[in-house]
Amino acid sequence: MTTQTTTAETPRTPAGSAQTGLISLPPNIARAVATGGGALTVISAFLAWTWTAAFPGDLTVYGYPGGLQWLVLIAGALTTLFGLSSYGVKGLRWLAPAGADSSIRLSALAGFVTTWFTLIAISKQLGGLANLEPGGFIAAIVSLAALIGALALPFERPAPDPADPEDSGWDQSRHNARASLTTFKAAFASGTAPAARTLPSYVEILIIVAALSFGLVVFTYGIGTEYDELFIGFLITAGFGFAALFKSGLAGRVSAITSKHRNVTMAGAFTAAAAFPFTQSDDQYATIGVYILIFATVALGLNIVVGLAGLLDLGYVAFLGVGAYAAAMVSGSPSSPFDIHLPFWGAVLVGATASMVFGVLIGAPTLRLRGDYLAIVTLGFGEIFRITVNNLDGTSGPDITNGSNGISSIPNLQMFGFDFGLEHSIFGITIGRFANYFFLMLLITLIVVVVFRRSGDSRIGRAWIAIREDETAALAMGINGFRVKLIAFALGATLAGLAGTVQAHVTYTVTPEQYQFAHVVPPNSAFLLAAVVLGGMGTISGPLVGAALLYLIPAKLQFLGDYQLLAFGLALVLLMRFRPEGLIPNRRRQLEFHESAEAPAVLSKTGA
C-alpha cells in the first residue's frame, strides 16, 4: 500500500522567495541600518571610551584608537565594506562574490561582541559603568544598531530543481539552496570561477603577496597582544572576521589563485615567515614562534600518517621523543651516558634514523590492524616509551636516559661556525637565540613541506589515499597495503625525529613528561592529532595553521587557570560543529562533508 503526503497540511515558503531575517525589517532598510551602523562603529573607535588610563590600551584619547578600539574599527570597516558591496558599489563587488548578507551578519556580530566585551571589561575592572565616557555608550549603541540591521537581512531561497517539479516545498528549497552554495564554492575552490580566471598573472601574484602580508600582520598581532583582554578581543574579531571572508567567497577566490600559483605561494609564505623575527623587538615572542614551528612540523609529519594514509596514530609524540633523546645523547650533554659530541648534521641523522627505526619496529607488527585497534596499540606505544625512558635511570633499569631528570644541559647548536646560542646582527637588526632557532626550524619545515608535497603527488601518495578511502578496494586493485602503510609510518616517524633533534637543543633539556599523550603544554599526541583535524587533513597549509592556533591559544589563555582547557575545548567543539572539514580543507574531504549535508530530506512519497 502506498501513501502520499500532501503539502497542504503545513504552510511552506514558496520556492525562489526570500525568507525574512531574524528581525522583521524591509530588506532595503535593514541593509542601510547595517551599513550605516558599521560606518558609525568605525567613527566611535575614534572617541574616548573611558576617562582613565588604568584600563590597558589607553582608551582615553579622542581622534586616535587604542588597544581594543582598533579591533572594533576593523570589524566596523568590514561591515561597512560588505554593506556597500551588497549595493553593487563599483570596485567593491569583488569583495563578496558569493553574496554579502551572511558576511554582513558575521562582521556586525564581531563588532558588537568586541565592543560590548570591552565595555563590560572596563566596567568590571574599574568598578562600574560610571567609568565609561560618552564615546563608550555611543559605540555600544551603534554596534547594536549594525547587528540589528544585519540580523534583519533576508535569507534567499533559490527556485527548486526543475527535475522534481512536484516538490516545491521547504525540503526541496533547502536542498537546492545548499547545493547552489556548494557548487559555487566548489567552482572557486577548483579555480574554475570566471572572476579568478580573467585576472592577469601579475595581478594574481600581487593578490597572493597581499594575502600573505595580511596573514603575517594578523599572526604577529596575535602573538604580540600585550594583555589578556586584547587577546580575547583579537580572537573574537579574527574568528568572526575570517568566517565573514569565507562566507563572502573572497577566501575561496584567493584560494583558487594560490592553487594556480603553488610555487609562488610557497615561496611567498616562507618569505613572510622569515620576516617574522624582524618584526619583534626581543626574543619574547620569537620563542613562541620557534615552538609553533616545531609543533607545526611534527603535525605535518603526522598528517602523512593520518591525513594521507588514514592511520589513526595516538602515540605519534613518542617519535618526537625518540629523536630528541637520540640527539641529546650524542650532542655532548654532561648528563648523557655516552661521551659523544657530534656536529649538528650528525645529531640530526642520529635522531631521524632512530625515529625511523622505531617507526618500522612498531609498525611492522601492528599495521595489520585497522581503525580503533590500531589507535589503541599506538596509544600504548606512546605510554610504553614514556615509562621506559622514565625507568632507564640506573635503578629500575640501565642508566641511559637519567630517568625522570632527563638529559639536561644540552649545548647550543653550532653549524659552519655559527653559534645558535649567541646574538647576531642581520641588516642592522639584532637577532637573539630563539630567532636563530626560528630560522633553522623554518628551513626544516620547508624540507618537510617539500617531502609531503612530493610524496602526496607520487605513486605512493596515491596508494596512501586509496588505502585511506577504502583499504579493501585498494587491496583488490593490487596495492600492497602493508608495505604502503609501513612506508607512511616510517616516513612520518622520521620527520618527527627530525623536529625532535632541534627541540632538544632549543629546550636544553628532554624529560619523559614532555611526551605524554595529553600534556598541558603542546606538542603532545592529543594536540598533534587535533592540529591535523582542525587545520584540514591531507593538506599542507592546514596542519601548519592548526598547529599555530593550538599552540598560540593555550599559551595566551593561561590567565584562565583551571578553566583554560574548558574554554579551549568548547572552542574546538564549536569549530568542529560548524566546519568539520577543517579550516583549510582538502577539496575531496570538503565535498564529502558537504555531500552528506546536502543529502535530500525524506521523500514526500513513501512506500509501506
Q: pLDDT for 343-391, tens place per residue?
A: 888 888 999 999 999 999 988 888 888 878 888 888 888 889 889 988 8
Pairing of strands 418-419, 424-426: unpaired
- What is the 3-class SS of 355-415, one letter each residue? HHHHHHHHHHHHCCCCHHHHHHHHHHHHHHHHHHHHHCECCCCCECCCHHHCECCCCCCEE
pLDDT digits (tens, 9 = 90+) for 425-441: 776 677 777 888 888 88
Grid coordinates representing 444 are: 626544516
**Rounded to whole angstroms, how far apart are CA atoms 21 and 152?**
4
Q: What φ, ψ does residue 221 adopt, rounded to 5°?
A: -65, -40
Q: What is the pTM of this model?
A: 0.78
Residues paired with residue 4 on neighbouring β-strands, in sequence order: 605
Q: From the CB of residue 566, how many other CB atoms can be counted at a distance below 10 Å?
A: 10
- What is the 3-class SS of 526-594, one letter each residue? HHHHHHHHHHCCCCCHHHHHHHHHHHHHHHHCHHHHHHHHHHHHHHHHHHHHHCCCCCCCCHHHHHHHH
Q: What's the Cα-to-Cα distance from 603 to each of 10, 53, 164, 517, 606, rounded to whole Å? A: 15, 63, 11, 46, 7
Name residue, grid cell 649567541.
422
In CATH, 282-552 is 1.10.3470: yes
The pLDDT score that the predictor gives to residue 357 is 93
Going through 121-230 in order, the beta strands assigned E by DSSP cover 155-156
**Rounded to whole angstroms, how far apart are CA atoms 295 and 288?**
10
Residues paired with residue 2 on neighbouring β-strands, in sequence order: 607
Domains of the chain, residue spans: 18-156+190-254, 282-552
Residues paired with residue 418 on neighbouring β-strands, in sequence order: 415
Residues 161/44, Cβ–Cβ less than 8 Å: no
Considering only CA atoms, which of 153, 172, 135, 150 is closest in space to residue 13? 172
Grid coordinates representing 459 are: 605513486
pLDDT digits (tens, 9 = 90+) for 247-283: 888 888 888 888 888 888 888 888 888 888 887 766 6
The pLDDT score that the predictor gives to residue 116 is 95
The pLDDT score that the predictor gives to residue 140 is 95
Residues paired with residue 19 on neighbouring β-strands, in sequence order: 155
The size of the chain, in residues, is 608
**Rounded to whole angstroms, how far apart are CA atoms 522 and 527?**
6
The stretches in the chain having pLDDT less than 50 are: 1-17, 157-181, 183-185, 187-197, 596-608
The pLDDT score that the predictor gives to residue 109 is 95
The pLDDT score that the predictor gives to residue 10 is 36
CA angle 106, 110, 111 (to 5 degrees): 120
CA angle 161, 163, 166 (to 5 degrees): 85
**Rounded to whole angstroms, how far apart are CA atoms 382 and 316?**
7
**Rounded to whole angstroms, how far apart are CA atoms 232 and 553?**
10
Task: Give the end-to-end CA distance of the chain in Å, rounded to a whole number.
Answer: 6
**Rounded to whole angstroms, how far apart are CA atoms 502 and 290?**
10
